[in-house]
Amino acid sequence: MCSKLNPDTLDVCQFCGARLRPLVLPPTSALDLPSDWKKPAPPPAPAPEPEPKPAAGKEADDWLGSLRSGTSSFESTPEEPAADSGAAPSVDDWLAKLRAQDETQEAEEEAPQPATEEPAPAQSPEGGDWLGSLRASSAEPDWLSSPVESESQNGEDVNWLQSFGPTDETLIGAVRAPTQPEPPAADSELPEWLRPPSSTDETLVGAVGEPPAAEEPPLPSWLESPVIKKATGPFDKKIPTPIEAPVEPPPPAEPQPKAVLGMTDWLASAESQATPESLDWLTSPPPDEGQKPVVGATDWLQSPESESLPRAELPEWLKPPPSEEGQKPVVGVTSWLASTESAPPPPAPPDAEGKAVIGTTDWLASFQPDSSTPPAKKTGATGWLSSQPPVSTGSTGTLKPSGKSVLGAADWLNSLAASEPAPDAPPAFDAQDFDQAMKSGEPDWVIGNDEDLPDWMKQSPPPAEPTPPETPSASPSARAVVGTTDWLKNFGKVSDEPTPAFDMAAVTGELRETDSSDLDWLASLDKPIEAAAPTRPPIGPLPQPTAAETGPLPPGGEGIENADLPPWLAAMRPTGLDITGAAPLPEAPAIASADLPDWVKPPSGVSTATSISPDETLPGAPSFPSAPSAPLPSAAAFTEAPAGEDITQAVVPLWLRQMRPPDSQAAILALEPEREETAGPLAGMRGILPAESVIAVAGKPGSAVAQFLISDAQERRAEMLRAIIQEETAEPAEIRPRKRARIHYSFGRLIVALMLIAVAILPLLPPVAAYLPIGLFPFPELSSGGRPLFQTIEALPSDQPPLALIAFEYEPAYTGELNPIIESVLAHLMKRGARIAAVSTYPTGALIAQNVMDRVAAESGVAEGYGKSYINLGYIPGGATGLQHFATAPTATILRDFSGGEKPFEREALTGFTGLENFDLIIVVSASHDDAQRWIGQVKREGQPMSAITSAAAEPLVAPFTGGDTPPITGLVSGLAGAIGYDRATGRASESAAQAAIRWNSFAISLHASAAILVGGALLSVFALIGQRRTAAQPAAPLASPAPVSPTVRRRATKTGAAKIARPKARKK
């Protein structure tokens, strides 16, 4: 829970109280298990003779039962464990322990629930409840504690492996002979299925159906190891290869090794039962006398070096390299794993007992207890482990193997074995040695010869404590403890010895001397980095910064000595950080060099890397902005650890800590190592990081914020914005009353209009007219277009009054221009005695016609001649359609005249009128060319003259109708000039003519004034353009200051009271 190191002997963490060792299940008898789950009660006594293998059909079902019954050949007699334990009291077969325990439990369960248990089949006489056997045992079964306890009594560390059940009984997966119930042994705490098969009960139930071999086949050589050899007999026996001929089973009378716990029938030793040839390679020779059956081993895994196992011919890939003289042959290893140590002599052939060790490896076989060793209490250690001789520590604290080959181990592991030749007999697993090896922390398999090992593995850590003296039961030769380490030896043991604190200093001291290329950074933590550009993070105290570099400290901060930072970390640190005053960091506890494993220790004679100063930067490292300088934490902060802590607390550099907001720092709760958690699922535990240290504790945000970097442009904009806001708030809104809406007009238009009015009116005034020179503007002559009309009228027949039709196709707006002309023409017609009929397609044209004809008639002396001399036909609706209709059926179109008189075509003025062909002349008076064109298109008949009187604006568009060979328009008179010329041609001396002549000067002057205005305007435009070009050509003056952000906003009150924003007037062009 708290990730702190604890001694191996503890079951509960001393800091947080978490459990370090798992709890062991209660015995099966305490559980309410189904009856079929329960193991059948073991037989009272093992059968002396091995029973034949049961039928194949039943073998499949009873292989577990046979395991429980302990009829396997791997099982040893109940007395054997005692003897074995006496022979090797230090190390017990943990599997055998389990088996023994199981037998004990089964015996206990027989009495209370004999009916619930299934009757043990013939093939599985034991039928014990393995779970019950477990249940019957204590919370910590004996197989888990017995060897340890025995050793603890001797003052040694408990071999946790020894505590795994009875040493001579437990074999995982072992198949028991169905007909041989295993007698309960003194150390039979193990359940049946965990017990090693006895040599007489070796079966291969579940296999091809043949009885197992009497003799277990030998284990492969590569599986042989001192550790494995410590197991019971089956493991020591040679396991033949699949291609090998099966090993002959031992005599039936011989005590059979215990069944291998956990083995299947087909994996059972062939020593006790007939082993099929095809499975001979799986069988292992029976264990040697005094040897305990190997738990969890297979024959083919058996070391070939076991004296009881003939060397099996392994496949090439399993064969060890040819070993040199004196070297241990290693089976199943590669050359680089081959040990350089002196190898023990090859194992002797199986002994008379023919104990086979099925399923064991050499290294497991090496765990068989030595006969010379006192029998260890079966506290649960595995048999194969207990069979190994005890490991003795050497001068350097390294675990030395027993001199036997380590099956499955590397050569360097074998090299760790004792230099002296190994004894002939495979050394039994010595729990005491193993414990010693564990204590020394230098297992053989871990530590090898420095010469052979890689550099990172050469160093052996310093032992945590002095090497305890060897027990008398321990073998003089150091035995390799395969698969164990120093810390393992203390596993399961509750030692009274004080647990040494983790000496970080020792570790760092060791590391400083390390020459490991990968560990220099560890060593350099405690020393300043001397190199200019070290590549590894240093270890050690950081250099103290100078006073100039330090600055104000955050509240609550304490100075921290400079620590040697790695160059890469120092380069990242902002300069000027004040690290002084930061809280001292706890130093790591010192660790004795002896406690550290060799592979952690730096080689001697290697200088450690030096640390760099905080100010130094690596070449090419980025430069960071300056920060308040602070001293770096001291080395003690990095190396010292609080009392009672085994590991060094993580150290945050002061410069990094000072970057944290000060208020948030205050919100952090005190992290006391012994602070007990009071809430949550971790209540009651100590050393827990408080979850609400920073998150839940509210605090003000830090005032010391980072410095904002503002550019000049941003600052200007900010100032501008501030000025705008101040301007808006400072100046009150100016509200002015709304003024009347003014009529906006152009003065130019006014001036021009006044001028034109003046020049048009003044000449009409007599005083002004008198001063005008005569002939200033000479009267015009009859135009070229007016002459044809004149001639046409002159050519009208005189015998009958001609009939003329005049169309008044203009609005009152053009009366000033057209009336003088039409009056002249009408006067000429009336002078000629012609009858005039007027018509119009304009509603007002008829009225205009009426007025003009009346005036002219009065002038001509025919005022009473309406209806006689002239008639007004009125208005013709429909535009062009009406004209077409009028041209087609005039009498049907016009029913009344303009004055309301009925039947106008029957009036004297239109006597003999039958149609438009009766008209001698048609004159169209229009202000636009459309009317003339319409009359030309709708009314004009061939051979009927038609003339036009138009305004000066329509003359260009009507003039084309006067050209050609047969022009549609015979004469064209336009404007005041045409009228004056026609009057001069006709000699009209009337008031209108006089008025027309008077208006001529005004008209001429107006024309010339207009021309003058045009010229003046043009000249002014030219001058303005020239001035603009000159202004544009001049260089632009530089802007002194930027334009104001916003002009003054002035508001005006509207009629309704709402304020309007006055906007600056746009400059007019």
Partner 1 sequence: MKLRLSLAVPVAVVSGVVTLLAFFIRVEPLTTVFPVLLQWAATLAAIALLAGIVNLMSVHIRKVSAFSAGWAYSAVLVIAFVFVIFMWLLGYAAAFAPDEPTRADVIKLSQESLNVAFQFVQTPVEASLSALLVVVMVLAGARLIRARRHWSAVLFILVSLFLLVSLAPLGPLSFAQGLRDLLIQPLAMGAARGILLGIALGAVATGLRVIIGVDHPYGD
- Distance, in Å, from the CA atom of 314 to the CA atom of 206, rounded to the nearest integer, reads 25
Instruction: For the CB of residue 710, give the shortest distance to partner 1 in the complex, in Å.
Output: 50
Binding partner 1 (rule: CB under 8 A), the pick from 700, 896, 903, 1008 is: 1008
Tell me the C-alpha to C-alpha distance, in Å, between residue 690 and each of 660, 672, 673, 674, 693. 18, 10, 11, 12, 5
| Cβ neighbours around 576 below 10 Å, total | 20
Instruction: For the CB of residue 825, give the shortest distance to partner 1 in the complex, in Å.
Output: 20
* Identity of the residue, 454 or 843, whose beta carbon is nearer to partner 1 in the bound complex: 843
| Nearest-10 Cα torsion for 507, 512, 514, 517 | 110
Binding partner 1 (rule: CB under 8 A), the pick from 671, 765, 1015, 1053 is: 1015
Is the Cα dihedral 1003, 1009, 1014, 1015 positive or negative?
A: positive
Residue 772 found at the interface with partner 1 (CB under 8 A): no
Spell out the residues 6+ positions from residue 153 whose beta carbon is closer than 8 angstroms to its own: none
**Total number of residues that touch partner 1 (CB under 8 A):** 64
- Distance, in Å, from the CA atom of 192 to the CA atom of 128, rounded to the nearest integer, reads 6
Interface with partner 1 by CB under 8 A: which range of 192-200, 670-678, 999-1007, 1048-1056? Answer: 999-1007
Binding partner 1 (rule: CB under 8 A), the pick from 632, 635, 876, 909 is: 876
Residue 753 found at the interface with partner 1 (CB under 8 A): yes
CB 841 within 8 A of CB 875: yes
Instruction: For the CB of residue 1067, give the shortest distance to partner 1 in the complex, in Å.
Output: 15
Residue 877 found at the interface with partner 1 (CB under 8 A): yes
Binding partner 1 (rule: CB under 8 A), the pick from 861, 956, 1027, 1044 is: 956
Interface with partner 1 by CB under 8 A: which range of 426-434, 579-587, 646-654, 996-1004? Answer: 996-1004
Spell out the residues 6+ positions from residue 1037 whose beta carbon is closer than 8 angstroms to its own: none
Binding partner 1 (rule: CB under 8 A), the pick from 35, 278, 546, 784 is: 784
Instruction: For the CB of residue 819, give the shortest distance to partner 1 in the complex, in Å.
Output: 10
CB 194 within 8 A of CB 172: yes
Instruction: For the CB of residue 910, give the shortest distance to partner 1 in the complex, in Å.
Output: 20
| Nearest-10 Cα torsion for 773, 774, 776, 780 | 160
Pairing of strands 972-974, 946-950: parallel
Q: Could you tell me which of 136, 159, 137 has the C-alpha nearest to residue 146?
A: 159
Residue 1016 found at the interface with partner 1 (CB under 8 A): yes
Residue 891 found at the interface with partner 1 (CB under 8 A): no
Residue 814 found at the interface with partner 1 (CB under 8 A): yes
Binding partner 1 (rule: CB under 8 A), the pick from 620, 622, 963, 1057 is: 963
Instruction: For the CB of residue 759, give the shortest distance to partner 1 in the complex, in Å.
Output: 12
DSSP, collapsed to helix, strand or coil, labels residue 576 as coil
Residue 1013 found at the interface with partner 1 (CB under 8 A): yes
Residue 882 found at the interface with partner 1 (CB under 8 A): yes
Pairing of strands 972-974, 870-875: unpaired
Binding partner 1 (rule: CB under 8 A), the pick from 778, 943, 987, 1057 is: 778
Tell me the C-alpha to C-alpha distance, in Å, between residue 664 and each of 584, 632, 667, 808. 19, 21, 5, 103
DSSP symbol at 381: B
Instruction: For the CB of residue 1024, give the shortest distance to partner 1 in the complex, in Å.
Output: 6
- Distance, in Å, from the CA atom of 546 to the CA atom of 543, rounded to the nearest integer, reads 9
Q: What is the DSSP secondary-structure string of 867-909?
A: TTTEEEEEE--STHHHHHHHHH-HHHH--B-TTS-B-GGGSGG
Interface with partner 1 by CB under 8 A: which range of 34-42, 397-405, 554-562, 1006-1014? Answer: 1006-1014
Tokens in use for 904? Answer: 């106008």
Instruction: For the CB of residue 938, give the shortest distance to partner 1 in the complex, in Å.
Output: 10
Binding partner 1 (rule: CB under 8 A), the pick from 780, 802, 845, 968 is: 780
- Distance, in Å, from the CA atom of 584 to the CA atom of 233, rounded to the nearest integer, reads 60
Residue 756 found at the interface with partner 1 (CB under 8 A): yes
- Distance, in Å, from the CA atom of 43 to the CA atom of 128, rounded to the nearest integer, reads 8
- Tally of CA atoms within 13 A in the half-sphere of 257 that contains its CB: 59
**Could you say which residues in the range 137-166 bind partner 1, by CB under 8 A?**
none
Residue 977 found at the interface with partner 1 (CB under 8 A): yes
* Identity of the residue, 469 or 816, whose beta carbon is nearer to partner 1 in the bound complex: 816
* Identity of the residue, 748 or 1047, whose beta carbon is nearer to partner 1 in the bound complex: 748
Residue 487 found at the interface with partner 1 (CB under 8 A): no
377-415 CB burial, b ≥16 within 10 A, e <16: bbbbbbbbbbbbbbbbbbebbbbbbbbbbbbbbbbbbbb
**Could you say which residues in the range 730-749 bind partner 1, by CB under 8 A?**
746, 748-749
Q: Could you tell me which of 101, 177, 156, 124 has the C-alpha nearest to residue 382?
A: 101
- How many residues in the chain? 1069
Instruction: For the CB of residue 731, give the shortest distance to partner 1 in the complex, in Å.
Output: 38
Residue type, 186: A
Interface with partner 1 by CB under 8 A: which range of 242-250, 372-380, 959-967, 1058-1066? Answer: 959-967
Instruction: For the CB of residue 877, give the shortest distance to partner 1 in the complex, in Å.
Output: 4
- Distance, in Å, from the CA atom of 159 to the CA atom of 215, rounded to the nearest integer, reads 31
Residue 957 found at the interface with partner 1 (CB under 8 A): yes
Residue 892 found at the interface with partner 1 (CB under 8 A): yes
Interface with partner 1 by CB under 8 A: which range of 294-302, 360-368, 493-501, 770-778? Answer: 770-778
Residue 914 found at the interface with partner 1 (CB under 8 A): no
Residue 959 found at the interface with partner 1 (CB under 8 A): yes
Spell out the residues 6+ positions from residue 275 whose beta carbon is closer than 8 angstroms to its own: 202, 204, 210, 211, 212, 213, 214, 215, 217, 246, 249, 269, 282, 283
Q: Could you tell me which of 449, 605, 610, 593 has the C-alpha nearest to residue 515?
A: 605
H/E element, 69:
helix 56-69
Interface with partner 1 by CB under 8 A: which range of 175-183, 345-353, 382-390, 752-760? Answer: 752-760
CB 524 within 8 A of CB 610: yes
Residue 878 found at the interface with partner 1 (CB under 8 A): yes
DSSP, collapsed to helix, strand or coil, labels residue 525 as strand
CB 689 within 8 A of CB 613: no
Residue 1024 found at the interface with partner 1 (CB under 8 A): yes
Binding partner 1 (rule: CB under 8 A), the pick from 1014, 1045, 1053, 1058 is: 1014
CB 176 within 8 A of CB 192: yes
Residue 245 found at the interface with partner 1 (CB under 8 A): no
Residue 1018 found at the interface with partner 1 (CB under 8 A): yes
Residue 831 found at the interface with partner 1 (CB under 8 A): no
Instruction: For the CB of residue 811, give the shortest distance to partner 1 in the complex, in Å.
Output: 6
Instruction: For the CB of residue 1003, give the shortest distance to partner 1 in the complex, in Å.
Output: 6
Helix axes 431-440, 142-153, angle to 10 degrees: 80
Binding partner 1 (rule: CB under 8 A), the pick from 25, 253, 683, 1011 is: 1011
Q: What is the DSSP secondary-structure string of 218-250?
A: PPPGGGEEHHHHTS-HHHHS----TTSPPPPPP
Binding partner 1 (rule: CB under 8 A), the pick from 44, 454, 812, 1044 is: 812
- Binding to partner 1 by CB under 8 A, coded x per residue (else -) over 845-874, reads --x---x-----------------------
Strand partners, 392: 400
- Distance, in Å, from the CA atom of 180 to the CA atom of 727, rounded to the nearest integer, reads 111
Spell out the residues 6+ positions from residue 1063 whose beta carbon is closer than 8 angstroms to its own: none
Instruction: For the CB of residue 875, give the shortest distance to partner 1 in the complex, in Å.
Output: 9
* Identity of the residue, 12 or 1007, whose beta carbon is nearer to partner 1 in the bound complex: 1007
Binding site for partner 1 (CB under 8 A): 746, 748-749, 752-753, 756, 775-778, 780, 783-784, 811-816, 843-844, 847, 851, 876-879, 881-882, 884-885, 888-889, 892-893, 900, 929, 933, 952, 956-957, 959-960, 963, 975, 977, 1000, 1003-1004, 1007-1008, 1010-1011, 1013-1018, 1020-1022, 1024-1025
